[in-house]
Chain A
Amino acid sequence: MAEALARITEISGLGMIQIRAVLSETGPDIAQALGIPIPERTGTSLAGARRLCWMSPDELLLVLPRDQVAPALAALAASLAGRHALVLDVSDMRVGFLVQGPSAGQVLAKLTPANLSAMPQDGMLRSRAAQVACAIWRQDEGFAIIGFRSVADYLRALLVNAASAGTSLDPR
C-alpha cells in the first residue's frame, strides 16, 4: 500500500495574539512595535519566527513562538496606548497542524470549499475544514492549518483521514 498523502503533525509551542484595530490608523504603530510589516488583504507577512496574518479589515493575528508572546503583548500595549485597539493573548484558543508533502494540497482540497490553488504564496485563507472553521497558509513545503482548540481531535482526525494512503486525487 502506498504512503499517506501527507504528514500531519501538530505544531507545538504556538503563541497567538489577536489584534483588532483600524489598520489604516494604527497599522504603522503595530508594524513598528512588532518589527513586521502589516500584511496585504488576505495575506501574511513574515519576520523570523513571527507571522502576522490578515484576518479581516480590522483584525490581525500574530502567530509566534509561545515564549515571545509576553514581550510582544507589552510592545503592542506600549505602542497602542490610548488608541482604540484590542490586543489579546489567545495562545490557548487554537491548535495548529502542519500538512506536509507534495500532495498536502490534495488533503486540504478534500476538506475546504476554498480555492487553495488561487491563494498567493504568502496568502492566508479563512474557510472551513469540513464542519469547523479554519485558517490555512503555506509553510514548510506544505500548509499550516489552525482551528479552535475544542475541535482539535476532530480536525486531526479529518486531516489524517483525508491523507489516507492510496487516496490521491490525481486522475487514475
Chain B
Amino acid sequence: MLTLTCPCCGITADETELHPGGEAHLKRVGPGSSAEAFETYLFARSNPKGVHFERWRHAYGCGKWFLAARCTATLEVFGTYLAQNAAPPPEILAAIRARRPDWTPTAIAPRDPEPAERPNE
C-alpha cells in the first residue's frame, strides 16, 4: 500500500485514493506507423526490477494524472512530477542518481518506438 504525493495538489495520498496507469513516457504512434512501431507502443513495456516511471491518477483527490519515479524492488519513491513531462525532469533524475548511482537512464528513458533502437532487446 503505497503513498504518493500528488504534484498537482501536494497531498500525500493513499494507494486506495489513486488509480494506476501503467508505464510512463510512452510515445503515441498513430495511423501510418509501422506494424512494429505500433506493436511496441501498444504492448512493449519495460517492467524493470528497480527504477521505474509510472502514471498515476489522483482519482479520489484532484483528479489529475501525474508521474512517479520509484523503485519496483524496494518501493522507494524518488519523486513525482507533472504528467506533461515527456521525459523525467532533471531534478527527478538527480534524485534517482543520488540513491542509485549505478542506474543507467538510457535503459528506461522514453523509448523510441522503432525496434532497432530499443536497448532492452
Query: Would you give the shortest CB distance from A147 to chain B, in whole angstroms?
Result: 11
The distance in angstroms between the C-alpha atoms of A126 and B13, with both chains bound, is 10
The 0/1 profile, CB within 8 Å of A marked 1, for residues 1-40 of chain B is 0000000111111101100000000000000000000000
Query: Would you give the shortest CB distance from B101 to chain A, in whole angstroms?
Result: 34
Contacts of A115 in B (CB 8 A): 12
Known: A55-B62, A57-B64, A127-B60. A114 touches B16 (CB 8 A): no
Query: Would you give the shortest CB distance from A143 to chain B, in whole angstroms?
Result: 17
The distance in angstroms between the C-alpha atoms of A42 and B16, with both chains bound, is 19
B50 within 8 A of A: no
The distance in angstroms between the C-alpha atoms of A41 and B64, with both chains bound, is 14
The interface size bin for chain B is 10 to 19
Q: Is the CB of A56 within 8 A of B64?
A: yes
- Residue from A42, A57, A125, A126 having most chain B Cβ neighbours under 10 A: A126
Q: Which of B50-104 contact A (CB under 8 A)?
A: 60-64
Contacts of B12 in A (CB 8 A): 115
Contacts of B9 in A (CB 8 A): 41-42, 56-57, 126
Known: A41-B9, A42-B9. A56 touches B63 (CB 8 A): yes
Q: Is the CB of B62 within 8 A of A128?
A: no
- The closest CB in chain A to the CB of B11 belongs to A42
Q: Which of B10, B14, B60 contacts A133 (CB 8 A)?
A: B60
7 contacts between A and B (CB under 8 A): A55-B62, A55-B63, A56-B62, A56-B64, A57-B64, A127-B60, A133-B60
B-contacting residues of A (Cβ < 8 Å)? Answer: 41-42, 55-57, 59, 113-115, 125-128, 133
